[in-house]
Amino acid sequence: MSIAYLDPGNIESDLQSGAKAGFKLLWVLLAATIIGLLLQRLAARLGVVTGMHLAEVCNRQYHTVPRVILWFMVELAIIGSDMQEVIGCAIAFNLLSNGRIPLWGGVLITITDTFVFLFLDKYGLRKLEAFFGFLITIMAITFGYEYVTVRPDQGELLKGMFVPYCAGCGPTQLQQAVGIVGAVIMPHNIYLHSALVKSREIDRSNKKEVKEANKYFFIEATLALFLSFLINVFVVAVFAEAFYGRTNEEVHTVCNATGSPHLDMFPLNNQTLEVNLFKGGVVLGCFFGPAALYIWAVGILAAGQSSTMTGTYSGQFVMEGFLNLRWSRFARTLLTRSIAIFPTLLVAIFQDIEHLTGMNDFLNVLQSMQLPFALIPILTFTSLPSLMNEFANGLFFKIGGGLVVLLVCCINMYFVVVYVVDLNRVWLYVLAPFLSLAYLAFVGYLAWLCLIALGVSWLDPSARKGNDTSVLIEQQPEFDS
């Protein structure tokens, strides 16, 4: 579950945050991780209490048309995440080979990696979990090495993490803060976590055992996200200390002195340095030696490879839950990986590294748009006494969860609007009103059903006590109110 907080999209958001705002947005990263933990808690509780994951519950509760639309939106998020993993791996292979493996070659190599993991899956879930742990350890060591090498100012780091203020920040930093939230909280990860908890055997007829399982899953998620948060902090701190406020001319001078072949990326002007996954490795190599570049690339490769399997599992659970289609993991992976590879390969062949990393920004926007289609359903179903019995959300979690979902959705919609405006494409302005109306109408429909669920315990005293488990399922099947 924690892998989704360490994919290449997150790493790129981290390094851009450090380079553009220094340590000032670390508190945003901390807040986003805490919000993510609370949402993961809801996902785990749903799986533990009901014995069904989120996609299965959606299939049971929603009508056919909204269910299919919801499935399509979640699939878009999974494919977008898969494309980010492909981009990250391709960049890592290019850096590790000193440019000998072209970007399109790295894209093609990533076609095969998922099937290697599927082979490992045949040896049991625990062995696969151990392999994930190994990859996370590689990330911790590699990005930790960069952290120790750069030696960030610890006082500034702690101030940025615990003081929710951004002195002197402008629109650029505001957009970056919004981008952090969009990169950290991943829609398909909510579906994944609700399914992963089913791998543990729980006697759901024993309330004490269910309560105990909820407690330990929450502790497990807290530890996992604490580790992923530390790794994210390593990346932010490295780029905040070493590259915040630097200009292209400064970097060009240093890279020229070290004989870097990528001087064309840093024109001789006084504009502030902008970095991405590829440039990040290059500037680390210029300032801290070739070892820093290669270690950075190994960390990116580990992030991309590990998150690949996360997307595979998410897609499997989502397809089975929404559509009752039980494809083999091989067929399911072949389909989504092919969809992800094709556009990425075209950009890698016919465009340059700037367009490939720019594609990463678009994919972050795409996943931000899909976020309501995970957050609203998870809040809806964990608030239903008819599903959760005495484990349904209390008043605090209903109000708090509702406000968190509203805040995160508004933040991400702002991110989308800013991205569209910055693109300045006429055809987008023409299509945007129609797409926005359709999108908001569906989000509004889901939100209305969520409000019904949040109000059930107040409308029906028996449901509030947990005595009636058929308030919505039998009296109002599929929310047909």
Digit-coded pLDDT (tens) for 370-390: 888 998 999 999 988 888 888
Summarised one tens digit per residue, pLDDT across range 231-281 is 999 999 999 998 898 888 888 888 888 888 888 888 888 888 888 888 889
Summarised one tens digit per residue, pLDDT across range 284-297 is 999 998 999 999 99
The tally of CA atoms less than 13 A away on the side-chain side of residue 277 is 36
pLDDT score, position 475: 35
**Burial zone of 99 (CB within 10 Å; 0-12 exposed, 13-18 middle, 19+ buried):** exposed
As a whole number of angstroms, the distance between CA 327 and CA 2 comes to 26
What domains appear along the chain, each with residue ranges and CATH number?
A: 2-479 (1.20.1740)
Q: Which residues contact 361 (CB under 8 A, 6 or more apart)?
A: 419
Summarised one tens digit per residue, pLDDT across range 180-205 is 887 788 888 899 999 988 888 888 88
Higher pLDDT, 306 or 56: 56
Residue 470 has pLDDT above 60, yes or no: no
* Mean pLDDT, the chain, integer: 82
pLDDT score, position 329: 67
As a whole number of angstroms, the distance between CA 193 and CA 28 comes to 23
Q: Are 91 and 344 in contact (CB under 8 A)?
A: no
Q: How many CB atoms sit inside 10 A of residue 426's CB?
A: 7
Residue 247's SS3 state is: strand
Residue 268 phi, psi dihedral angles, 5° rounding:
-80, 80
Residue 340 has pLDDT above 70, yes or no: no
Q: How many CB atoms sit inside 10 A of residue 443's CB?
A: 17
pLDDT score, position 357: 67
pLDDT score, position 352: 67
As a whole number of angstroms, the distance between CA 474 and CA 14 comes to 47
Residue 314 phi, psi dihedral angles, 5° rounding:
-60, -45
User: pLDDT band for position 112 (50/70/90)?
Assistant: confident
Output the CA torsion sign for 355, 357, 361, 367.
positive
Residue 261 phi, psi dihedral angles, 5° rounding:
-85, 5
Q: For the whole model, what pTM was predicted?
A: 0.86
As a whole number of angstroms, the distance between CA 440 and CA 410 comes to 12
User: pLDDT band for position 215 (50/70/90)?
Assistant: very high
